[in-house]
Chains A and B, each alone.
Chain A
Amino acid sequence: MIFYILRRILYAIPIAFGVSVVCFSLVYIAPGDPLQTVMPPDATAETIEIVKHAYGFDKPIPIQYLIWLGHVLTGNFGMSISTRRPVILEVTDALANTSLLALFAVPLSFSIGYAMGAIAGCFPGRWLDRLVTGTAVVGVSLPNYWLGIVLVVFFAVQLALLPATGMGPSGSTNFHILEWSCAKYLVLPVFTLAMIPIGILARTTRAAVAEVRSQDFVQTLRAKGLSEWAVIRHVLKNSLPQVMAVMGLQFGYLLGGSILVETVFTWPGSGFLLSKAIINRDVPVLQGTILTLSLIFVATNLVVDLLQSLVDPRIRRA
């Protein structure tokens, strides 16, 4: 088991390396200029040269990449061009804010999505299945930024029940999760964010459960005289590895932060940070965020694989 974990961690290294190269190149292929935020539209060529030199952007791109890589290996992600704050602070702050959303969106979407999918899978073709599948399709298809705006208009502007945007009365610094005055800022973004994972999980679970139900061993269980509830328990357990793989991906998605949802709610998370870094071509922040998020994805997949093998020992032997 230990060797299995070590091997998987070693696999993550080339993945992270590949991600960093692709990310670095993408930033330079896209039109635009990483120094735009610090320079007004009228900056002259001479000004740009002096500033480029001061920020190290006058070196050839492969050299810039190697310098960056060298720093990252020693834990230094550099400084944001637009704010001059250390990238590591920018990324951890944003991830902390996004993980607050994920902390609630994950259990909400996983429990509702799984329950809906399991019910639908156990009663395929019945009205309950159609209701659940229909709801799931709506959940997946609604653009979540639109849903977010509609929820804001209804709950914040019309009813004045919940706040429209932001992260508490004084930002993330004094965010107290147990105080309603802060926690109410979570309600709309968490719900908006949970919609897509609910839909995806409901559909995946339904398909997995329906597939397991049609397998021979289920017939055998019934033939042995097990009650329908006991059969369902076996079916659910056997469908779990497949569902967990999708849960892992959705967990990564929620932790990565949604650019659209966080922008609509001005939530200072990793999606919002990423969108600002893209607009400003803030290369160090862009690199740091993408690399961190991709490592989180790799780690999540590793954890999911390990959990799968705990639930289903056949996977470990394979």
Chain B
Amino acid sequence: MGDNARRSGLFAAVLGAALLGAFAAQAAGTLTIGMTAGDLPVTTGNPDQGFEGYRFVGYNLYDSLVLWDLSKSDKASDIKPGLATSWQIDEGDSKRWIFKLRHDVKWHDGCDFTADDVLWNMRYSADDKAPEFNPAQFAQARPYLGTYAGVEKIDDYTVAFKTKVPDSLFPYEISYVMMISPCRAKEVKYDWTQYALHPSGTGPYKFDKTVPHQRLELVPNADYWDKARVPKQDRLVLVPMPEASTRTAALLSGEVDWIEAPSPDAIDRLKSASMQIVTNVYPHNWSYQLNFVKGPFTDKRVRQAANYALNRTEMKELLNGLMLEEYATVPPSTPYYGHPVVYNYDPDKAKALLKEANCVPCKMTFAISTSGSGQMQPLPMNELVKSQMDAVGFDVTLDSMDWNALLKLTREGVDEHPDVNAINVSRQTQDPFNALIRHVWTSAWAPKGSNWGHFSNPEIDKTIAEMNEEAVLIFVAHDVNPRALSPKVHGFVQAQSWFQDLTPVSVTP
């Protein structure tokens, strides 16, 4: 339907819809996915809609200089070369990273990928004075560019990134920054609304068409530089379906081949219809960040008591088995899990610690959300935490709000909300910075970063084990990323990551 028909009014729009022809039957080997997102992720570089946007749109249309190896399910995913083939710290300057770029890579629009494109993309993401600057891209990429100080071209296939401080984790951070085609951006005269409708990257999938809010259709990029990752389907269709029951019904009725996060109580029904339920541990944690400025959690014994009070096996039963008991910020399969202090369920010890801390009943307020990205089943899970904590002498009040309001409270930090004792915001822990440092680093005190409750300990960065001993979080659950696939779907390997590789997947028509 033409835009003119839409603009000229409601009646014309309805008529226009009625006059258009029917869509031909779906091609063979089409993979249709029902996402949990409420809307289609944006296609102008770094996507929105949380890591689901990165999983299905970001790393499919685009590449970053550094990619994630998603080919194995039995070990934690790590980074691998992407648009850069290698990287190393400048031997003469510890605040300078040299990246060698891949030769013979073409954008979907046919232009060549070179060092100038990397410089352009960094201005697009980070330089608010540049004509190509896009505030939406800046907002999405900024959290990963905390130490970024600039980039320069050494030759057509070599660039040097400067960092504010020596940053050994920089390759991890840059893996989240998507590279988009400057050629296409110039073609559409930096009109990002138009760019979103004609995106061009270097990724394994090319944009084919979209109906805003309803579906995004991608097709394989047969010229992809990594021949092993040329998609094995004919077409990939992404459909936003925020309602869990709607996703389940859509899979059962054959409208989609794959759904993200089926609700735990639908698993048995899906299995009885021969659907494949795939799960795997991944770097996710469902925990509480605590108030270190005011209230009972300033006392380490109270924090430890809260951790001892939780019966995580019971939580697993509540979720029909769809979780892993959480005892540290990262799951045990992570290379840097180490040997943390583990708070096994011990109600007597919890009671004793509370008594010792002279906090009985230990009154507190938790800020929780009714739904949200990575929040699993927040209401029943929080109710169970409250009942388990109340049983050992806490008196927990759950202050529930919508996801947007909780995010605002989280960003503002503890100073604005001194009477909130803990916040329940799930976090990704995919790389060492996000997993270990951001929750406890004094420089990351909100509103400057993710350390909501203003924890501070000069000694803390030394060992992970020590962090757990301090009981910085109340550890509850690691999600296992359940998804349900139609029996027609073959070849999917679920990586231990927030991101997944869809290219090896085929669909029997």
Pair B243/A177 contact, Cβ less than 8 Å: no
Q: With an 8 A cutoff between CB atoms, is A294 at the interface?
A: no
CB of B211 within 8 A of CB of A172, answer yes
Q: Is the CB of A266 within 8 A of B18?
A: no
Q: Are A169 and B448 in contact (CB under 8 A)?
A: no
Interface string of A38-66 (1 = CB under 8 A from B): 11111111111011001100000000000
Count residues on chain B whose CB falls below 8 Å from chain A CBs. Answer: 71
A33 part of interface (Cβ distance < 8 Å): yes
Contact with B along A128-170 (1 / 0, CB 8 A): 0000000000000000000001001100110010011111111
Task: List residues of chain A with CB within 8 A of the CB of B228.
Answer: none
Complex CA distance for A30 and B14, rounded to whole angstroms: 34
Residues of A within 8 A of B242 (CB): 263
**Chain B residues, Cβ within 8 Å of A177:** 17-18
A291 to chain B, nearest CB (A): 15
- Contact of A40 with B192 at beta-carbon distance under 8 Å, contacts A157-B252, A181-B22 already known: no
Q: Are A44 and B448 in contact (CB under 8 A)?
A: yes
A32 at the interface (CB under 8 A from B): yes
In contact, B404 and A47 (Cβ under 8 angstroms)? no
Q: Which of A87-95, A118-126, A236-244 lies at the interface?
A: A87-95
- A12-20, A205-213, A273-281 - interface stretch: A273-281
CB of A96 within 8 A of chain B? yes
Known: A47-B142, A165-B246, A179-B22. A41 touches B10 (CB 8 A): no
A81 → B minimal CB distance (Å): 8
Alpha-carbon separation in the docked complex, A86 to B1 (Å): 17
Interface residues of A in 193-221 (CB under 8 A from B): none
Known A-B contacts A41-B407, A163-B255, A167-B214; the reply to A276 vs B39 at CB < 8 A is yes
Task: Report which of B9, B44, B142 forms a contact with A44, defined as CB distance below 8 A.
Answer: B142
B403 at interface by CB-CB < 8 Å: yes
Does B509 count as interface, using CB distance less than 8 angstroms? no
Asked if A224 is at the interface of the complex by the 8 Å CB criterion, the answer is no
Q: Is A84 an interface residue (CB 8 A)?
A: yes
Give the residues in chain A near B13, CB-CB below 8 Å.
92-93, 95-96, 99
B14 A103 Cβ-Cβ under 8 A = yes
- Identify B243's interface contact among A44, A99, A181, A264, CB under 8 A: A264
Assess the B253–A42 pair: CB atoms within 8 A.
no
B246 contacts which of A44, A93, A164 (Cβ < 8 Å)?
Answer: A164
Interface membership of B458, Cβ < 8 A: no
In the complex where A41-B425, A175-B17 touch, is A166 in contact with B212 (Cβ < 8 A)? no
Q: Which residues of A contact B245 (CB under 8 A)?
A: 149, 264
Residues of A within 8 A of B (CB): 30-33, 35-48, 50-51, 54-55, 79, 82-86, 88-90, 92-93, 95-96, 99-100, 103, 149, 152-153, 156-157, 160, 163-179, 181-182, 263-266, 268, 272-273, 276, 279-281
What are 23 inter-chain pairs, A to B, with CB distance below 8 A?
A32-B408, A38-B136, A41-B425, A41-B450, A51-B138, A84-B193, A93-B212, A100-B14, A152-B249, A156-B253, A160-B253, A164-B253, A170-B23, A172-B211, A173-B1, A176-B18, A263-B242, A263-B243, A266-B241, A268-B211, A276-B38, A276-B213, A279-B403
